[in-house]
Amino acid sequence: MLKAKNKTGTSKKTPAKEPSQATRYHNAMFETFLDTLSDDIQSGNIELQDERRLTEDALRIDMIIIKKKPGVKINRVWGKFMRGHNIIEYKSPAAPTPSLKVFNKVVHGYAGIYAAQHNAWLTDMTATIICVKKPVNLFKTLKKHFNYEILRGDPGIYYIRLKGVPIEKTLAIQVMVCSELPESEFMLKALTPGIDEDTAKKVLTILDGSIDKKLSYWVNIVVEKNLNTFIKVGEIMRKNEIVKLLEEYGYGDIWRQKGWQDGRQEGWQVGQQEGWQKGRQEGWQEGRQEGRQEGRQEGRQEGELEGWQKGLEEEKRRTARAMLADGMDTKTIARITGLTAKQISQL
């Protein structure tokens, strides 16, 4: 069994109520580390703790990676310099870029309190701040006012060291910039709005592979924040099982309620041009007409009339023509179909 604890010491569960955006990003990040470190966790080499509580107040470290055995190595670009006790502070895309306040809280606050409470040596500890974009202002402040130097490690990794102090004699500090990480850290790179189509394809490949439902937060936040990209990639890949696949990860409601509504302008245009949007059940392969019919059925069943509005326009005109042929007046036809008098006169 994976040895991963949350702040109460019990197994991590999906909250009953809708969590905040920041919480969802945190949960997705925790799942990423849980998956990445699963082999070492299962073998008992390390223990991953979620929101480790430090005091009776709401003072908690986002994550701590503890090596359970001497000599354990974490073979990731961000794990090379990790020691016995490793504090991690995560700033999601929903949070501001890390500032001096965040740096002080982690380096001079969390690290010191943790060391005091757990009899840990700072020389056996590291502190990692994870963010989406490079904290340029923080780096400038540390270099100009606090005698720190910033050293570039692997892509996306920046080491922060006090000048003149051997690294083995103090707390080791690094900043991880997710947007700059190499492809080997794909799951961390995906935790940001604005991923490219190649990254979206990799996400779909993962979902269609062997990863189980432990990544539900990760799937939800990645797809929701990059929905238009996934719609476009779905058309390119001709994967008519995409919606069904996402529903298996608990994403169906968001896909239907937001995805098709937001995709009205982009997704439906692609469907009209290339005939790929047949609908959620059958895929996008049998042409514009069948796509409109499927869209009309799905829209009525799931309350997504607006998302399918363009697909229904032709049906409205056809209905209006039939009413005109039966001798019904323009006012009645307009009331029933929603077409304007001008549109009806042009039929």
List per-residue pLDDT tens for the chain, 347 residues long: 344 445 444 445 554 567 788 888 988 999 999 999 999 999 999 999 887 766 666 678 999 999 999 889 999 999 999 999 999 999 998 899 999 999 999 999 999 999 998 999 999 999 999 999 999 999 999 999 999 999 999 999 999 999 999 999 999 999 999 999 998 888 898 888 888 888 888 887 777 665 555 677 787 788 878 877 877 776 655 555 555 655 665 555 544 554 555 555 555 555 555 544 454 445 444 545 665 666 556 555 554 445 555 556 777 777 778 777 777 788 877 777 777 888 888 87
Intra-chain end-to-end CA distance of the chain, in Å: 67
> What total number of domains does the chain contain?
3
Quick one: 233 and 328 in the same domain?
no
Q: Mark whether 61 and 146 lie in a shared domain.
A: yes
**Residue 283: partners with Cβ closer than 8 Å, 6 or more residues away:** 238, 239, 240, 241, 276
pLDDT at position 128, please?
97
| Amino acid identity, position 18 | E
Angle between helices 288-302 and 260-274 (to 10 degrees): 160
Parallel, antiparallel or unpaired: strands 172-177 and 157-162:
antiparallel
Q: Assess whether 177 and 126 both reside in one domain.
A: yes
d(CA 45, CA 39): 9
Same domain, 66 and 124: yes
Q: What pLDDT, on a 0 to 100 scale, did the predictor assign at position 111?
A: 95
Residues 178 and 277 in one domain: no
Whether residue 215 is found in the same domain as residue 80: no
346: left (phi over 0), alpha (psi -120 to 50) or beta: alpha
Same domain, 266 and 341: no
For residue 342, list its beta bridge partners.
none
Q: Give me 240's structure tokens.
A: 């008519």
Give yes or no: residues 11 and 90 share one domain: yes
Starting at the earlier edge strand, list the strands of the sheet with 172-177: 4-5, 46-53, 60-67, 85-90, 125-131, 172-177, 157-162, 148-152
Asked if 238 and 320 sit in the same domain, the reply is no
Question: What is the spatial distance between Cα 35 and Cα 41, in angstroms, rounded to a whole number?
Answer: 9
The pLDDT score that the predictor gives to residue 151 is 96
CB atoms within 10 A of CB 173: 24
Picking from 188, 211, 229, the residue at the C-terminal end of a domain is: 188
Q: Domain span at residue 227?
A: 193-307
Which pLDDT does position 321 carry in this prediction?
Answer: 81
Stated pTM of the model:
0.61
Q: Which of 53, 42, 85 is nearest to 66 (CA)?
A: 85
The label of the residue with tokens 């692609």 reads 270
User: Is 329 found in the same domain as 302?
Assistant: no
- Model pLDDT, residue 258: 47
